[in-house]
């Protein structure tokens, strides 16, 4: 009886290995690791915001609306409990992504406003914060790309035969992924200006 049981266990193990079960486990762990790095970089950015706002406030006292927009966007972004389970909920994931996108937009507008204040741009503390923020945005992009690749691999396994049968048996389903904020904007040709002195194309005869 013991030998029979052992044989059944071995057959089950071989069967699970051949139908993608182990792939699901490794892919899921990769997604969790990638997601943790995404959150780590978003948190790094959120931690920079208070010092950035404080520094700008000291020089740009008339930009209260812009500063308030950054503060509120940070508050909304950090209020979302981004647990690993969030990646299994497309609606919650979309809210998280929208909040982070809002903070990105608010920070971009703030950096544009700073261009009007030469003294602030020359401040060593601001330059250091700006460099840290730029570095963090790059890290966010890298972390997001790794997460996108991890989810893509996992989702392909969920949808492919015969691993899709394993997915149905064990309840694996596709996970949410990052999307482009405005896909129509990507299709629009960039506006290029060569200044007023640039030669204009010849008119058609």
pLDDT at 32 over 80: yes
36 domain residue, yes or no = no
- Give me the domain span that covers residue 65: 50-159
112 domain residue, yes or no = yes
Q: What is the DSSP string of 117-156?
A: -HHHHH-HHHHHHHHHHHHHHHHHHHHHHHHHHHHHHHHH
175 domain residue, yes or no = no
Residue 152 has a pLDDT of: 93
| Residue 189's pLDDT band (cuts 50, 70, 90) | very low
Q: Which of 140, 150, 72, 80 is nearest to 110 (CA)?
A: 72
How many domains is the chain built from?
Answer: 1
60 domain residue, yes or no = yes
138 domain residue, yes or no = yes
150 domain residue, yes or no = yes
Residue 142 has a pLDDT of: 95
Q: Which of 61, 41, 70 is nearest to 132 (CA)?
A: 41
Q: Which residues, at least 6 apart from 42, have a Cβ–Cβ distance to it below 8 Å? A: 77, 82, 100, 140
15 domain residue, yes or no = no
- C-alpha distances out from residue 160 to 20, 30, 47, 157, 165, Å: 10, 19, 41, 5, 9
Its pTM stands at: 0.77
| Residue 199's pLDDT band (cuts 50, 70, 90) | very low
pLDDT at 28 over 70: yes
88 domain residue, yes or no = yes
């Amino acid at each position: 009886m013991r030998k029979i049981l052992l044989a059944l266990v071995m057959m089950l193990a071989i069967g699970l290995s051949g139908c993608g079960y182990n792939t699901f486990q490794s892919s899921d762990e990769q997604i969790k690791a990638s997601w943790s790095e995404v959150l780590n970089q978003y948190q790094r950015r959120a931690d920079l915001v208070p010092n950035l706002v404080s520094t700008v406030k000291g020089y740009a006292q008339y930009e209260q609306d812009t500063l308030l927009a950054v503060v509120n966007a940070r508050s909304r972004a950090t209020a979302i409990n981004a647990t690993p389970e969030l990646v299994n909920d497309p609606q919650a994931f979309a809210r998280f992504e929208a909040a982070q996108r809002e903070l990105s937009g608010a920070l971009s507008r703030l950096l544009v406003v700073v261009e009007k204040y030469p003294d602030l741009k020359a401040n060593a503390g601001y330059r250091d914060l700006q460099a840290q923020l730029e570095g963090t945005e790059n890290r966010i992009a890298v972390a997001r790309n790794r997460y996108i690749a991890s989810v893509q691999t996992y989702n392909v396994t969920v949808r492919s035969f015969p691993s899709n049968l394993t997915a149905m048996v064990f309840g694996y389903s596709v996970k949410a992924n990052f999307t482009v904020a405005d896909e129509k904007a990507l299709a629009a040709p960039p506006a290029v200006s060569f200044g007023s002195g640039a030669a204009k194309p010849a008119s058609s005869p």
